[in-house]
């Protein structure tokens, strides 16, 4: 729920954008807004001070507040500079710098002897033991010997696409769209890549089975939760069916669960928890929830794949940095991670609900968009004739960055007809301001092309 302060800021921005307040015009009095929003005058003053810092309004002593000259409907939408819907980096105030600094200092003291040598390529046992406990709380039951620590999930994807798997299959099957980082790893590894269409309702399980039955698939890479870029998730029944097909046709699945900590449904088990035949490889990144620069991830592997994975890991970097491993261990063991995860889960859930409400209000039924329950991504499908590249250019000129979904697609599936919005670093009032501009530019391009 927005605070009164946030509600007042958003209300004033909308009034400017709709042309109800013009440059040089006096704004409503503090007393009038306090009565309108049933709040104290101090709350209104704080809201006006926020708008003043953003160079939207200015005070005149003994007179009131006025809209800055040149602050018309278009300029108010980017009142604090660019609106970045493209970046996937969390805001600084949602990154646990001080806590991680404390853990790093303790790790230096705790592992000072290990700093002079190399550690186990599988990861230090004490961290793997802590990760095992962490995963148990999420219905993921793996002992420390099944866990490999990696230098970020990207290293896991690089190893998995390069290493040999049982069976004759060489091709990698990926959802379309999918995470572009995995596509890059597969391309560098020289794997043939096959795409299977996925939308907000999931994938066609009959098509999936036909690929599994063909014998050409080395592994199936999937993001069951909060897929980047759609933001949507598989149902529990779909996950059960996918796990069952993997068992029937002896195909390995790589489950990328990078945003598991944002899941609010306690019954939304990962594929790994539904796998009864050791065919799911579970990959967990800590980049989006802690610090991207800590470069830590974990992989849970079936027994048959553990040794070859560790050999490839050893050849890649010998071992992941001991300080990052020690800091992550201490961060989880102390309970800091659990508290931090609860905080960001609540924050992004409320922010996504707000963003979906804004989509309904701004886009209506004329522009199709995905409706995730949580997470950080929304995909907008553009009307016929409107191209994502043209829209990106127009939005950039107005200070708004978005991502072309073609970046997440194989070349044969690119249509230049969708954009992705990431809300991870955009504050609530600016989400609506940005979406209003996006809707305007879509309509302008639509009219021009018609």
The burial of 206, by beta-carbon neighbours within 10 Å (0-12 exposed, 13-18 middle, 19 or more buried), is given as: exposed
162 and 220 fall within a common domain: yes
Is 441 within the bounds of a domain? no
57 and 138 fall within a common domain: no
Non-local CB neighbours of 440 within 8 Å, separated by 6+ positions:
none
Is 412 within the bounds of a domain? no
79-88, 307-316, 402-411: least confident range: 79-88
152 and 284 fall within a common domain: yes
Q: Give me the chain's average pLDDT, please.
A: 90
Cα dihedral 356→357→362→363 (10° resolution): 50
The burial of 389, by beta-carbon neighbours within 10 Å (0-12 exposed, 13-18 middle, 19 or more buried), is given as: exposed
Which of 303, 335, 367 is where one domain is finished?
335
> Can you give the pLDDT at residue 49?
84
Q: Distance (Å, rounded) from C-alpha 379 to C-alpha 186? A: 24
Cα dihedral 346→349→351→356 (10° resolution): -160
210 and 152 fall within a common domain: yes
User: How many domains is the chain built from?
Assistant: 2
- Between 16 and 297, residue with greater pLDDT: 297
61-70, 80-89, 117-126, 258-267: least confident range: 61-70
364-394 pLDDT, tens digit each: 888 999 999 899 999 999 999 999 999 999 9
133 and 225 fall within a common domain: yes
Judge whether residue 163 has pLDDT over 60: yes
Judge whether residue 5 has pLDDT over 90: no
Residue 78: pLDDT band (50, 70, 90) is very low
207 and 137 fall within a common domain: yes
Q: Distance (Å, rounded) from C-alpha 238 to C-alpha 274? A: 11
- For residue 35, give the H/E element and its range: helix 30-36
Instruction: Identify the CATH number of the domain in which residue 115 sits.
Output: 3.40.640.10
Judge whether residue 120 has pLDDT over 80: yes
Q: Distance (Å, rounded) from C-alpha 160 to C-alpha 308? A: 10
105 and 47 fall within a common domain: no
The domain of 185 spans 98-335
> Can you give the pLDDT at residue 83?
95
Q: Give the SS3 label for residue 421.
A: strand
Q: Are 200 and 371 in contact (CB under 8 A)?
A: yes
Length of the chain: 450
67 and 131 fall within a common domain: no
- For residue 285, give the H/E element and its range: strand 280-285
Q: Distance (Å, rounded) from C-alpha 445 to C-alpha 319? A: 52
Q: Which residues pair with 401 in a beta bridge?
A: 84
> Can you give the pLDDT at residue 392?
96
192 and 228 fall within a common domain: yes
- For residue 221, give the H/E element and its range: strand 217-222
Judge whether residue 81 has pLDDT over 80: no
Q: Distance (Å, rounded) from C-alpha 350 to C-alpha 427? A: 12
Judge whether residue 22 has pLDDT over 90: no
13 and 149 fall within a common domain: no
Q: What is the mean pLDDT of residues 269-292?
A: 91
Largest pairwise CA distance in the chain = 81
Judge whether residue 333 has pLDDT over 60: yes
Is 233 within the bounds of a domain? yes
Q: Give the SS3 label for residue 355.
A: helix
31 and 142 fall within a common domain: no
Tokens describing residue 39 = 């709040």
Is 82 within the bounds of a domain? no
Q: Residue 317, Cβ neighbours under 10 Å: how many?
A: 13
Residue 93: pLDDT band (50, 70, 90) is low
169-225 pLDDT, tens digit each: 999 999 999 999 999 999 999 999 999 999 999 999 999 999 999 999 999 999 999
110 and 203 fall within a common domain: yes
DSSP 405: G
| Of residues 293, 294, 298, the one with CA closest to residue 331 | 294
Judge whether residue 80 has pLDDT over 90: no
State pTM to two decimals: 0.81
Judge whether residue 61 has pLDDT over 70: no
Q: Distance (Å, rounded) from C-alpha 232 to C-alpha 175? A: 13
Is 20 within the bounds of a domain? yes
Q: Are 297 and 284 in contact (CB under 8 A)?
A: yes
> Can you give the pLDDT at residue 76?
43
- Between 2 and 59, residue with greater pLDDT: 59
Q: For the chain, state the CA radius of gyration.
A: 25
Which of 313, 335, 357 is where one domain is finished?
335
> Can you give the pLDDT at residue 73?
52
Q: What is the mean pLDDT of residues 333-349?
A: 91
Non-local CB neighbours of 315 within 8 Å, separated by 6+ positions:
none
217-228 pLDDT, tens digit each: 999 999 999 999
Judge whether residue 449 has pLDDT over 80: no
Residue 57: pLDDT band (50, 70, 90) is confident
Is 44 within the bounds of a domain? yes
Helix extents (H) in 275-427: 303-317, 322-333, 336-363, 388-397
Residue 69: pLDDT band (50, 70, 90) is low
Is 83 within the bounds of a domain? no
Residue 77: pLDDT band (50, 70, 90) is very low
Instruction: Identify the CATH number of the domain in which residue 12 sits.
Output: 1.10.10.10
Is 402 within the bounds of a domain? no
| Of residues 67, 56, 2, 72, the one with CA closest to residue 28 | 67
Tokens describing residue 20 = 């109800």
Residue 74: pLDDT band (50, 70, 90) is very low
Residue 64: pLDDT band (50, 70, 90) is confident
Q: Which residues pair with 203 in a beta bridge?
A: 198
- For residue 252, give the H/E element and its range: strand 252-256
Which of 290, 306, 335 is where one domain is finished?
335
Residue 68: pLDDT band (50, 70, 90) is low
> Can you give the pLDDT at residue 79?
47
């Amino acid at each position: 729920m927005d605070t009164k302060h946030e509600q007042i800021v958003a209300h004033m921005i909308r009034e400017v954008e709709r042309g109800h307040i013009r440059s040089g015009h006096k704004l409503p009095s503090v007393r009038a807004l306090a009565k309108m929003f049933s709040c104290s005058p101090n709350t209104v003053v704080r809201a006006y001070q926020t708008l003043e810092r953003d160079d939207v309004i200015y005070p005149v002593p003994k007179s009131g507040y006025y809209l800055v000259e040149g602050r018309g409907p278009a300029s108010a939408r980017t009142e604090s500079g660019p609106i970045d819907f493209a970046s996937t980096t969390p805001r600084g105030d949602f990154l646990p710098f001080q806590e991680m600094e404390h853990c790093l200092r303790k790790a230096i003291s705790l592992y000072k002897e290990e700093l002079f040598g190399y550690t186990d390529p599988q990861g230090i046992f004490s961290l793997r033991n802590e990760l095992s406990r962490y995963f148990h709380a999420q219905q993921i039951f793996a002992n420390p010997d099944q866990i490999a620590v990696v230098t970020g999930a990207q290293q896991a994807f690089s190893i998995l696409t390069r290493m040999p798997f049982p069976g004759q299959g060489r091709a990698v099957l990926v959802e379309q769209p999918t995470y572009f980082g995995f596509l890059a790893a597969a391309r560098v590894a020289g794997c043939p890549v096959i795409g299977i269409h996925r939308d907000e309702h999931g994938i066609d399980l009959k098509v999936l089975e036909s690929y599994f039955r063909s014998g050409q698939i080395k592994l199936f890479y999937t993001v069951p939760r909060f897929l980047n870029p759609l933001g949507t998730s598989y149902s529990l029944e779909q996950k059960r069916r996918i796990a069952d097909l993997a068992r029937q046709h002896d195909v390995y699945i790589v489950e990328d669960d990078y945003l598991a900590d944002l899941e609010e449904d306690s019954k939304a088990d990962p594929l790994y928890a539904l796998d009864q035949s050791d065919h799911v490889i579970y990959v967990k990144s800590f980049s989006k929830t802690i610090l991207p620069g800590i470069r830590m991830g974990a992989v849970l592997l079936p027994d048959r794949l553990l040794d070859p994975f560790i050999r490839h890991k050893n050849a890649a970097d010998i071992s992941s940095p001991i300080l990052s491993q020690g800091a992550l261990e201490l961060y989880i063991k102390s309970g800091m991670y659990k508290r931090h995860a609860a905080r960001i889960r609540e924050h992004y859930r409320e922010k996504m609900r707000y963003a979906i409400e804004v989509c309904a209000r701004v886009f209506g039924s004329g522009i199709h968009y995905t409706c995730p329950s949580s997470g950080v991504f929304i995909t907008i499908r553009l009307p016929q004739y409107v191209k994502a590249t043209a829209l990106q250019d127009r939005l950039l000129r107005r200070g708004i960055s978005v991502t072309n979904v073609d970046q997440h697609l194989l070349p044969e599936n690119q249509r230049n007809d969708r954009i992705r919005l990431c809300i991870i670093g955009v504050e609530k009032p600016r989400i609506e301001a940005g979406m209003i501009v996006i809707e305007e530019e879509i309509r302008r391009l639509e009219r021009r092309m018609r």
